[in-house]
């Protein structure tokens, strides 16, 4: 499996000090084979590997992780990003009802999904309705009616005894019915065939034209493997879709289809189905899928813990230096970078209790200001960072030229740094000094 392969590849990297180009190339070759074995389509594998290589070559050597962990981290992050990063929300119609059409091969799980989606919408405070537009198979309507009963959502279907019925007509009338009954979401279940088929595509396209859906969801069985690409392309060209739903994730598929469909069509994966029951359903989580494809959930957790432990270590060291008044600009820069990893500064400040009353004092701490401060410190030599007292007029000029700031910005930073350090020394003196962070008796 992919997991086994990666584990053995990465074993070879363990113990080496840093990633060399040869390491990265060798790893990339193995990951490539492994992804192919997991049923990811070839063009997708190629582009994915290229991304991983680029990042691994440009990456700084991490102090917190060993090279093996570092490669896994990069592979994982790239996977999450290809799978869609943060994803997006469903589009709702300005004038209800919002129309959601389901399309996909027979057996992909559309009808089952219709009930799950309906329940999900109801949970969000909507009043959904199901429309039975699969009139291909004799029992398809009955199946949707059962689904509707289970999910406690009304089903619009052609009247019994009215003959075969026209799915396009049913779709159109279902919208009118929803308007009359104030149902604000209509989920349209459609017919599928076992394979891609002209007539099927035409029917789906006709339904689409009749109801102009706000979302068309392409439903695809995760077990479909390599066929995912051609099927997705056929539905993209024949009907078009705005999102993807992966089903049967409770099976043993590695998730190669997810990567392929996402990459080939560029459409986001919105939901995931993982069982036959109504509650076997969730919005799609790229990070969970990445972890599944890699099959290394435990390793990923370890990596996270290693990084957190490293950060805590650094913070502890810095706290001790502050306590003894030994803080340098180098420490200051490190601290600042650690904090900024957590996101834009104004967001962090917004989370502080009472920050609103202090808006004016805090407003200068914007990211542009911190960018300037970081640029200044980076423009200093290690000696200057360790002992800012030596920064005289000519050094200031050099730093200003190198970091693109005004000399007065440098004066500002150095003055504030000394003030802060003095204040910390005083505080440390008051509270007994010594190692910061420890408990006192
Ligand atoms: P449709 O032809 O696209 O409407 O597919 P159905 O909704 O009728 O599903 C086909 C079969 O797959 C049924 O037996 C479902 O119970 C089953 N099925 C659907 N979704 C899932 C899923 O997420 N996991 C599993 N294990 N079975 C599913
Ligand atoms: Mg069906």
CB of residue 250 inside a 6 A radius of ligand 1: yes
Element (H, E) at 429: helix 407-430
Element (H, E) at 145: helix 140-151
CA of 218 to the centre of ligand 1 (A): 14
CB of residue 192 inside a 6 A radius of ligand 1: yes
**pLDDT recorded at residue 14:** 52
Q: Each residue of 19-73: pLDDT tens digit?
A: 678 777 877 777 787 788 778 888 888 989 888 888 888 777 677 776 667 777 8
Q: Is the pLDDT of residue 383 over 70?
A: yes
In this structure, is residue 7 part of a structural domain? yes
- When pLDDT is averaged across residues 388-408 and rounded to a whole number, the result is 90
CB of residue 279 inside a 6 A radius of ligand 1: no
My answer on whether 188 and 147 are in the same domain is yes
In this structure, is residue 235 part of a structural domain? yes
Q: Is the pLDDT of residue 435 over 50?
A: no
My answer on whether 29 and 102 are in the same domain is no
**pLDDT recorded at residue 437:** 40
Q: Residue 421 annotated as binding?
A: no
Higher model confidence: residue 172 or residue 138? 172
CB of residue 274 inside a 6 A radius of ligand 1: yes
The two three-digit tokens of residue 223, written as one number: 């077990």
For helices 2-13 and 21-37, the axis angle rounded to 10 degrees is 170
At residue 252, φ and ψ (nearest 5 deg) are -100, 20
Do 211 and 101 contact (CB within 8 A), yes or no?
A: yes
Distance CA 426, CA 69 (A): 42
Per the prediction, the chain carries an average pLDDT of 82
What's the pTM?
A: 0.71
- When pLDDT is averaged across residues 113-137 and rounded to a whole number, the result is 95
- When pLDDT is averaged across residues 110-122 and rounded to a whole number, the result is 97
Distance CA 34, CA 44 (A): 13
In this structure, is residue 309 part of a structural domain? no
Quickly state the pLDDT bin for 319 (edges 50, 70, 90). low
Domain, as residue range, for 25: 2-82
Place of tokens 């992966």: 246
CA of 290 to the centre of ligand 2 (A): 29
Ligand 1, closest atom to CA 104? 3
Q: Residue 189 annotated as binding?
A: yes
Higher model confidence: residue 434 or residue 118? 118
My answer on whether 127 and 260 are in the same domain is yes
CB of residue 3 inside a 6 A radius of ligand 1: no
Element (H, E) at 427: helix 407-430
My answer on whether 41 and 183 are in the same domain is no
Q: Each residue of 212-250: pLDDT tens digit?
A: 999 999 999 999 888 899 999 999 999 999 999 999 999
Instruction: Provide the CATH number for the domain around residue 249.
Output: 3.40.50.300
How buried is residue 262: exposed, middle or buried, by Cβ count under 10 Å (0-12/13-18/19+)? buried
My answer on whether 245 and 276 are in the same domain is yes
Ligand (nearest to CA of 114): 1
Q: Each residue of 339-372: pLDDT tens digit?
A: 666 666 665 555 554 555 555 555 666 777 778 8
Test site for ligand 1: of 107, 142, 167, 271, most ligand atoms within 8 A of the Cβ:
107
C-alpha pair distances (Å), 96 with each of 122, 216, 274, 383: 15, 16, 30, 66
The two three-digit tokens of residue 440, written as one number: 């006192």
Percent over 70 (pLDDT), the chain: 78
My answer on whether 135 and 272 are in the same domain is yes
My answer on whether 126 and 266 are in the same domain is yes
Which runs of consecutive H residues, i.e. helices, occur in 341-406?
A: 345-351, 359-362, 367-378, 382-386, 393-403
Quickly state the pLDDT bin for 8 (edges 50, 70, 90). low
Number of domains forming the structure of the chain:
3
Test site for ligand 1: of 187, 249, 276, 279, most ligand atoms within 8 A of the Cβ:
276
Ligand (nearest to CA of 245): 1
Instruction: Pick the closest to residue 331 from 369, 295, 382 (CA basis).
Output: 382
Instruction: Pick the closest to residue 264 from 297, 302, 220 (CA basis).
Output: 220
- When pLDDT is averaged across residues 155-163 and rounded to a whole number, the result is 78
CB of residue 248 inside a 6 A radius of ligand 1: yes
Percent over 90 (pLDDT), the chain: 39
Instruction: Provide the CATH number for the domain around residue 43.
Output: 1.20.120.140
CB of residue 115 inside a 6 A radius of ligand 1: no
């Amino acid at each position: 499996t992919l997991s086994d392969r990666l584990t053995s590849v990465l074993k070879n990297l363990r113990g080496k000090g840093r990633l060399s180009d040869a390491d990265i190339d060798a790893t990339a070759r193995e990951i490539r084979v492994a992804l192919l074995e997991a049923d990811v389509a070839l063009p997708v594998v190629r582009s994915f590997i290229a991304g991983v290589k680029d990042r691994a070559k440009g990456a700084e050597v991490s102090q917190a992780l060993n090279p093996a962990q570092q490669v896994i981290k990069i592979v994982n992050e790239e996977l999450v990003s290809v799978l869609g990063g943060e994803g997006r929300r469903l589009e709702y119609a300005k004038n209800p009802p919002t129309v959601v059409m389901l399309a996909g091969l027979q057996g992909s799980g559309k009808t089952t999904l219709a009930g799950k989606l309906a329940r999900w919408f109801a949970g969000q405070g909507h009043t959904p309705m199901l429309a039975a537009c699969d009139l291909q198979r004799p029992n398809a309507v009955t199946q949707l009616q059962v689904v509707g009963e289970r999910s406690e959502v009304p089903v619009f279907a052609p009247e019994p005894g009215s003959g075969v019925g026209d799915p396009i007509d049913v779709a159109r009338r279902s919208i009118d019915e929803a308007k009359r009954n104030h149902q604000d979401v209509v989920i349209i279940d459609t017919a599928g065939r076992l394979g891609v088929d002209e007539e099927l595509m035409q029917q789906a396209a006709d339904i689409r034209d009749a109801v102009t859906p706000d979302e068309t969801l392409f439903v695809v069985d995760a077990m479909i493997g390599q066929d995912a690409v051609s099927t997705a392309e056929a539905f993209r060209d024949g009907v078009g879709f705005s999102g993807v739903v992966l089903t049967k994730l409770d099976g043993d598929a590695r998730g190669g289809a997810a990567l392929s469909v996402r990459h080939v069509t560029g459409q986001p994966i919105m939901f995931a189905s993982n069982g036959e029951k109504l509650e076997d359903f969730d919005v799609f989580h790229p990070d969970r899928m990445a972890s599944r494809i890699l099959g290394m959930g435990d390793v990923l957790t370890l990596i996270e813990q290693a990084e957190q432990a490293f950060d805590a270590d650094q913070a502890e060291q810095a706290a001790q230096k502050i306590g003894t008044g030994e803080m340098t600009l180098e420490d200051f820069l490190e601290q600042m970078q650690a904090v900024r990893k957590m996101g834009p500064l104004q967001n962090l400040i917004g989370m502080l209790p009472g920050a609103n009353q202090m808006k004016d004092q805090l407003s200068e701490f914007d990211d542009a200001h911190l960018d300037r401060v970081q640029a200044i410190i980076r423009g200093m030599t290690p000696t200057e960072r360790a002992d800012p007292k030596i920064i005289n007029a000519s050094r200031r000029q050099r730093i200003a030229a190198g970091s693109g700031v005004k000399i007065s910005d440098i004066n500002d930073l150095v003055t504030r740094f000394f003030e802060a350090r003095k204040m910390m020394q005083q505080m440390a003196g008051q509270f007994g000094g010594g190692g910061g962070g420890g408990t006192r008796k």
